Amino acid sequence: MPRTGRFIAAGQGACYRAAMADSLSPDPIEPAIKPKRPKPERVRKFRTPKWFKWLVRHPRLKDGFARFVGFYLALVYRTTRWDFVGLENLSPTTERNTAGLVCFWHERLPMMSMLAIEAQRLGAHMKTYVLVSGHNDGRFIGQAVGRFNLGTVIGSSSKGGATSLRNMLLLLRDGSNIAITPDGPRGPAKVAAAGVAQLAAATGAPIYAASAQCRHHMRMPSWDSMILPFPIPFSRGVIVVEPAFTIPRSNWAEHLPIVVDALNAASAKADRLCGIKPAADTSP
Residue ranges per structural domain of the chain:
50-225+235-273
The domain over range 50-225+235-273 is classified in CATH as 3.40.30.10: no
Q: How many CB atoms lie within 10 A of CB 274?
A: 18
Average pLDDT over every residue of 156-174? 75
Q: Give DSSP secondary structure letters for 1-66.
A: -HHHHHHHHHHHHHHHHHHHHHHHSPPPPPPPPPPPPPPPPPPPPP---HHHHHHHHSHHHHHHHH
Average pLDDT over every residue of 101-114? 95
Least trusted range by pLDDT, from 60-74, 92-106, 152-166, 168-182: 152-166
**Which conformational region is residue 251 in: left (phi greater than 0), alpha (psi within -120 to 50 degrees), or beta?**
left
Q: What is the pLDDT at residue 279? A: 64
Q: What is the pLDDT at residue 282? A: 46
Mean pLDDT of the chain: 81
Q: What is the pLDDT at residue 126? A: 84
pLDDT in tens, 175-190: 999 999 999 777 899 9
Chain mean position to CA 146: 23
pLDDT of 123 higher than 90: no
Q: What is the pLDDT at residue 11? A: 47
Work out the angle between the directed axes of helices 195-203 and 256-273 (0-180°, nearest 10).
110
